[in-house]
Amino acid sequence: MTSVQMNVDGETHSDEVEPRLLLVHYLREFLGKTGTNVGCDTSNCGACTVHLDGRSVKSCTVLAVQADGGDIDTIEGLAEFSSNGDEEAGWHPLQRAFHTEHGLQCGYCTPGMIMAAKDLLSENPDPTEDEVRHGLEGNLCRCTGYVNIVKAVRTAAAEMRGDKVDTEVGA
């Protein structure tokens, strides 16, 4: 067993873990952070995407011990607490845009998709449709056909820039 300590969604956790334990299983099973999902065993689907020190990683490709000392952000830490009872008011623009643009159906890929999109927008605050499609190619969705995911990401990008955006094709 090996000691790890990391900051997850703003809280510090210390645990003794097996060296083989994956970060995603540490999050889910040790910390109860089940907002982050597992969709495959080959690092193809991206459902488990979180941020490690500000960059998106597939948490099934990172050992918990590799994340020792790191800052982890998951979907569960993305929204700000809204004290007035209006939960949506505290949502990140990406969460709001996935809702308004119907960028999710079953919702299983959504946490990973949103975390990957957040990293994409930090690098490219105004991506074209094509840039969003290629920027999210490591995340699989089986429900939406991606059209509304692309729209949601560009809508959120516009909100984050303070712009309006034309999310129609070719814009």
Partner 1 sequence: MTALDTPPTLNVGVTRLRKEDAHLVTGRSNWTDNITLTGLLHVALVRSPMAHAKVSNVDVSAALEQPGVVAAFTGADLADNWAGGLPCAWPVTPDMKSPTHLPLATDEVRYVGDAVAVVVARTRPQAVDATEHVVVDYEPLPAVVDMEAALADGSPLADTSLDTNKSFTWQKIDGEIDDAFDGAAHVTTRRFINQRLIPTAIEPRSVVCAPPRETRETTLWSATQVPHILRLMLALTCGVPEHELRVVAPDVGGGFGSKLNVYAEEAICLVLARKLGKPVKWTETRSEGYQATIHGRDQIQDVSLAFNEDNTIRGMRVELHADMGAYLQLVTPGIPILGAFMFNSIYKMDALSFTCHGVFTNKTPTDAYRGAGRPEATYAIERLIDEAANELGVEPFELRERNWIKHEEFPYTTIAGIEYDSGNYEAATAKAREIFGYDDLRAEQAQRRGSGDPVQLGIGISTFTEMCGLAPSRVLGSLSYGAGGWEHASVRMLPSGKVEVITGTSPHGQGHVTSWSQIAADALGVAYEDVEVRHGDTNVAHKGMDTYGSRSLVVGGYAVQVACDKVVAKAKKVAAHLLEAAEDDIEFSGGTFSVSGSPDANTTIQDISLAVFAAHDYPEDMEPSLDSDATVDPENFSYPHGTHLCATEVDTETGRVTIRRYVAVDDVGKVINPQIVDGQVHGGLAQGIAQALYEEAVYDSEGNLTTGSLLDYYVPSAADLPHFETDRTETPATSNPLGVKGVGEAGTIASTPAVINAVVDALRHLGVNDMPMPASPRNVWEALQAANNGGAA
Q: Which residues bind partner 1 (CB under 8 A)?
A: 18, 20, 28, 32-42, 44-45, 47, 74-76, 78-79, 87-88, 91, 95, 98-100, 102, 104-111, 114, 129, 132-134, 136-150, 169
Shortest Cβ 69–partner 1 spacing (Å)? 24
CB-based contact 171:129 (threshold 8 Å) = yes
39 CA to centre of own chain: 14
Q: Pick between residue 69 and residue 104 the one whose CB is nearest to partner 1.
A: 104
Rounded to the nearest whole angstrom, what is the least distance from the CB of residue 57 to partner 1 in the complex? 17
Nearer of residues 67 and 109 to partner 1, judged by Cβ: 109
Residue recorded with tokens 């955006």: 165
Complex with partner 1: residue 56 or 144, whichever CB lies closer: 144
* Closer residue to partner 1 (CB): 110 or 155: 110
Angstrom CA distances, 133 to 59, 94, 106, 126, stand at 21, 16, 20, 13
Q: Cβ 21 to partner 1, closest distance in Å?
A: 8
| Distance of alpha carbon 49 from alpha carbon 64, whole angstroms | 14
Q: Let me know: does 16 contact 2? Beta carbons within 8 Å.
A: yes
Nearest to 40 by CA among 60, 63, 25: 60
In the complex with partner 1, which residue's Cβ is closer, 102 or 161? Answer: 102
Nearest approach, Cβ of residue 74 and partner 1 (Å): 7
Q: Which two tokens stand for residue 38?
A: 């597992």
Helix axis angle, 93-100 relative to 147-161, nearest 10°?
A: 140
Q: Least distance from C-beta 148 to partner 1, angstroms?
A: 6
